[in-house]
């Protein structure tokens, strides 16, 4: 695995610009903490990438299980960090305000660990069935597996919309699979098994037993816990509007909502928001980017 460049971290600068453009006060607390944590570990890695990446050989055979915790928080370079955290920014805003901060934090921790475990299982299975020991040495790093799991959740809550994948409209229920193929068509060096693991974990939550298991294990947590600052309705096109929400359980009280998130989402889907942000930030390199 290559070392990250020590030059100007353009991707990091763009990420910080994106965060300040949205406004720190507009980002829910868990989402903001994840962004800060990943930026911190990019600037101050606990270990070199080769000692923090996730592989069957290192984790299972050499019992280095701490990599399950380290791998999602480390990135290969500034552009890897930028694309992952820009995606996390919009997914976090949508999902944390829908699920609530405490439950969203629980989801992130669970998905981070479980995505790594499923990734190890996939690589081990490939090595065994294809009789190719090289799969045991494949070493993955980054938050993208968790993001694919969150993508499944986001699409689950917005089932009727469309995502723009390489210029083609794809129904939300198929968007994760289309994006999985598209990413590896554009960047063959990315971890197919890592991204697939994220999709499988997301499906385990939305269509499998994972959510029920999490509820039983959580104790004090519940999926009915909400982040009561601002709540949203979602329709087929993503963000729509504030619902009629009464903080004291009756219409006699009103909530003073001081922020209008249309100011920065403009009603766009996540993919459209990311594309617009990239083009605005990299207008002089637009011809070199492929969405």
Q: Are 86 and 77 in contact (CB under 8 A)?
A: no
Q: Are 175 and 165 in contact (CB under 8 A)?
A: yes
DSSP 8-state class, residue 235: E
Q: Are 188 and 202 in contact (CB under 8 A)?
A: no
Whether 74 is catalytic: no
Q: Are 175 and 155 in contact (CB under 8 A)?
A: yes
Point out the catalytic residue in the list 52, 71, 195, 269: 195
For residue 44, the tally of other CB atoms under 10 A from its CB is 7
Point out the catalytic residue in the list 144, 191, 269, 281: 144
The whole-angstrom separation of Cα 233 and Cα 239 is 7
List all residues 6 or more positions away from 71 whose beta carbon is below 8 Å from its beta carbon: 52, 53, 54, 116, 140, 141, 142
For the chain, the maximum distance between any two Cα atoms, rounded to a whole number of angstroms, is: 68
List all residues 6 or more positions away from 147 whose beta carbon is below 8 Å from its beta carbon: 84, 87, 88, 91, 198
Whether 144 is catalytic: yes
In the numeric block, which tokens belong to residue 72? 């999602």
| Tokens 């939305």, located at residue | 206
The whole-angstrom separation of Cα 48 and Cα 76 is 10
Selection from 87, 79, 97 nearest residue 34 by Cα: 87
Give the phi and the psi of residue 147 in degrees, each rounded to 5.
-65, -35
List all residues 6 or more positions away from 248 whose beta carbon is below 8 Å from its beta carbon: none
| Enzyme catalytic residues | 144, 195
């Amino acid at each position: 695995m290559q070392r990250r460049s020590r030059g100007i971290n353009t991707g990091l600068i763009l990420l910080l610009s994106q965060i300040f453009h949205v406004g720190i006060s507009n980002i829910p607390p868990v989402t903001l903490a994840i962004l800060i944590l990943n930026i911190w570990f990019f600037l101050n890695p606990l270990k070199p990438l080769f000692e923090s990446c996730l592989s069957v050989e290192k984790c299972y055979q050499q019992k280095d299980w701490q990599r399950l915790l380290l791998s999602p928080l480390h990135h290969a370079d500034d552009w890897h960090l930028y694309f992952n955290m820009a995606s996390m920014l919009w997914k976090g805003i949508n999902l944390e305000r829908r699920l609530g901060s405490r439950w969203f934090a629980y989801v992130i921790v669970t998905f981070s660990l479980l995505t790594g475990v499923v990734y190890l299982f996939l690589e081990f299975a490939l090595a065994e069935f294809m009789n190719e020991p090289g799969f045991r040495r494949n070493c993955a790093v980054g938050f993208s597996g968790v993001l694919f799991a969150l993508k499944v959740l986001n699409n689950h809550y917005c089932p009727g919309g469309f995502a723009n994948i390489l210029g083609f409209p794809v129904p939300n229920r198929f968007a994760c699979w289309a994006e999985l193929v598209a990413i590896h068509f554009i960047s063959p060096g990315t971890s197919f098994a890592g991204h697939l693991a994220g999709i499988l974990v997301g499906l385990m939550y939305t269509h499998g037993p994972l959510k029920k298991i999490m509820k039983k294990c959580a104790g004090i947590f519940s999926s009915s816990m909400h982040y009561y600052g601002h709540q949203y309705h979602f329709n087929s096109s993503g963000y729509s509007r504030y619902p009629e929400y009464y903080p004291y359980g009756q219409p006699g009280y009103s909530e003073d909502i001081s922020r209008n998130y249309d100011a920065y989402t403009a009603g766009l889907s996540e993919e459209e928001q990311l594309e617009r942000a990239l083009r605005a930030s990299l207008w002089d390199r637009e011809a070199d980017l492929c969405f």
